[in-house]
Structure 1
Amino acid sequence: VGHFDLPRMQSAGVKIQFFALFPDITASLSPLRQVLILGDYFWEQYEESQEIMQLITSHQSLLQLLGLKKCGALLTVEGGEVLEGDLRMLRVLYRMGVRSLCLTWNNRNEIADGVAEMQTGGGLTLFGREVVREMNKIGMIVDVSHIAEKGFWDVLELCEAPVIASHSNSQAVWDHPRNLTDEQIKGIAQKKGVIGLNFVADFLGEQGSGLDQLLRHIDHICDLVGDDYLGFGSDFDGTDNLLAGIDDVTIYPELISFLKKRNYKDTTIRKICGENCLRVLNAVL
């Protein structure tokens, strides 16, 4: 059944979903071929769903979507190894409709080191710098989730547009390599970017933690940098270990109720639920 489908997306009131094409680096097929196959499957499904869904590929298509009752899809790729060290592959993905690239997964690729390689101290490679510049040029969102810290700071120094950490949490609240330090959170805020909270239990707190633990991450990030830089990233269908109390995408109305009970203002809730993300989309696309 999974965590997500279009009927549940609609019932939960989700307006825009990022759909990640994620290659399995242990598979026999190359990452590029995997992503092309996944992309073809996405387009098959999208062509059957255009009455209720619209693909976001430009500022104009975003504005059009906001005036419709349809749901929006933004196509992304998780893991820059898919480019195989060839900048032309980035433009191929762009022509396929991809509008965001998570530069690394946990491993090292031609762009940079992931968090599993943190001990090497490796940052952006020369190719990685070309990728970031090209993404700025053509209008793609740079995603720094999974990247090792040296590469993170290289990206923030080089990138001319807001960046996102699409599915990351606070390391000060829960010390995990996939989470962001306070300085990294401040860096994303200075770039006018967004951090998408990850619902994976391992990245949030001790086993058995519930929604209160997710709200501790929200509290900390808002206390640190304000409410303009936070969103929901979820990682639905990217894990089999969601936080206790979260079963699927239909959790969002309950999360909103939790925030209201924590005395979060309606203006802040609207920012976290979508306005912050819309700001980045408007700035980059």
Structure 2
Amino acid sequence: MTDARRLHDEAVVADTHNDLLCAVVARPVERWASFFREQWLPQLRAGGVDLQTLPVFIEDPYRPEGALRRTLRMIEAAHRLAEGNADEVALCRDGADIDDALARGRTALVLALESAPGIGDDVELLETLFRLGVRVASLAHFGRTALADGSGEDGTGGRLTRAGVAALQEMERIGMLLDVSHLGAAGVEHVLELATRPVIATHSSARAPLDHHRNLTDAQIRGIAAGGGVVCVNFFAPYLHATDFSIDRLVDHLEHVVSVAGVEHVGLGPDFVKEVLADTTPPCCEVTLVEGVPADAYLPGLEGPAGLPLVTEALLRRGWAEPDVTAVLGANVRRLYVAELGRPGPAGRSA
């Protein structure tokens, strides 16, 4: 579809969750930049990715004792791959950096923390990590942290801990965007009660099409939109449908979130993990990411960023207007990031 490819190439495409840093740090230090250039940059270019969020995800063997050291090592890897590929990418700290990178034809990279296990309840370390370039952070993964319960602990009804409330306040002060993906249901509601600045869901689908704890309810989606935030739909097949792993089911979720939040509050949070798992999991092991579903359940053609033009084609086939397609592809996330990242709140200061 030439019209789809044209539109995709003209649009700003934003991916708010790709764990590629896990694959990068699995290489020797001297290979970090070159491995990214060889393995990931061609995929980002093929997918038209202009704005890429890089989560710092800390695997179980590093928690809790080695979490902070692992966090710092992954942040260092992000800086080195950006410095070693400065002709192609730029690590961005605020909206001006993002606009400059896009104007120069660079892919804008934004550092994020996924559940932030490295800080424990030492909330002051958020500013330390902010100084190192982190601009987005979530409070939990599937389980319990010092800040909140993840969605896998929904049965506890846990809200934010005292430290979690302080973390939200600190993030709003320094200009770090809070990510509610993976947060337990009660925790999301707590965030929406307290937040005075927009929040983001970097990789969360909708619970109405598929009732899974990793997906957001309509009330949560409306709350994020009401605060000016963006819900970025996850591409992981088992979060979209129980059995039909197809791009049509992804579009179903996108259309549902649009119907609830409005098209200006929806984005893409693919969560591409196939290559990362292949790179970081020993052949001896079988990985299950979702209860009873093998980790190799993917949408055909959308196993990695090179397949992103297929999303544009699918949306146009459904009859979406071009401005709505470009909004969801990345314009909404760009608007949010440019407005919020690195911008201090009341009593805040730049770092």
Normalised-by-shorter TM-score class = over 0.9
Residues 135 and 176, structure 2, Cα contact 8 Å, conserved in 1: yes
Give aligned pairs, total.
285
Task: Show the counterpart of 2:29.
Answer: none
Task: Show the counterpart of 2:307.
Answer: 251
Mapping of 1:77-156 within 5 angstroms? 77-156=113-192
Rounded to whole Å, the distance in 2 between the matches of 1:47 and 1:144 is 30
Task: Show the counterpart of 2:317.
Answer: 261
Task: Show the counterpart of 2:238.
Answer: 202
Residues 162 and 283, structure 1, Cα contact 8 Å, conserved in 2: no
Mapping of 1:1-285 within 5 angstroms? 5-27=40-62, 29-237=65-273, 240-241=295-296, 242-285=298-341
Q: Output one character per residue of 1:61-118: Cα deviation in whole Å (capped at 9) or x when no partner.
A: 1221232111110011101322121122111111111100011101111111111111
Rounded to whole Å, the distance in 1 between the matches of 2:97 and 2:261 is 31
Q: How big is the alpha-carbon RMSD for the aligned residues of Structure 1 and Structure 2?
A: 1.8
With 63-72 and 49-58 compared, the bigger mean Cα shift is at: 63-72
Residues 117 and 145, structure 2, Cα contact 8 Å, conserved in 1: yes
Residues 78 and 102, structure 1, Cα contact 8 Å, conserved in 2: yes
* Secondary structure of 2:149 counterpart: coil
Higher relative contact order (CA 8 A, sep 6+): 2
* Secondary structure of 1:17 counterpart: strand
Residues 272 and 305, structure 2, Cα contact 8 Å, conserved in 1: yes
Q: CA deviation at 1:195?
A: 1.1
Q: CA deviation at 1:214?
A: 0.5
In the superposition, the TM-score normalised over structure 2's length comes to 0.77
* Secondary structure of 2:118 counterpart: helix
* Secondary structure of 2:62 counterpart: coil
**2:60 partner amino acid:** I
Rounded to whole Å, the distance in 2 between the matches of 1:274 and 1:119 is 34
* Secondary structure of 2:263 counterpart: coil
Instruction: Give unmatched runs, 5+ long, in structure 1.
Output: none
Q: CA deviation at 1:200?
A: 0.9
With 62-71 and 174-183 compared, the bigger mean Cα shift is at: 62-71
With 245-254 and 179-188 compared, the bigger mean Cα shift is at: 245-254
Residues 118 and 149, structure 1, Cα contact 8 Å, conserved in 2: yes
**1:15 partner amino acid:** D
Q: CA deviation at 1:208?
A: 4.3
Q: CA deviation at 1:128?
A: 0.7
Rounded to whole Å, the distance in 2 between the matches of 1:77 and 1:208 is 31
Q: Output one character per residue of 1:158-190: Cα deviation in whole Å (capped at 9) or x when no partner.
A: 111111110000110011110001111111111
Residues 123 and 167, structure 2, Cα contact 8 Å, conserved in 1: yes
Residues 161 and 283, structure 1, Cα contact 8 Å, conserved in 2: no
Residues 302 and 308, structure 2, Cα contact 8 Å, conserved in 1: no
With 216-225 and 125-134 compared, the bigger mean Cα shift is at: 216-225
Instruction: Give unmatched runs, 5+ long, in structure 2.
Output: 1-19, 24-35, 278-294, 342-351
Rounded to whole Å, the distance in 2 between the matches of 1:185 and 1:69 is 33
Rounded to whole Å, the distance in 2 between the matches of 1:107 and 1:218 is 27
Percent of pairs with identical residues: 32
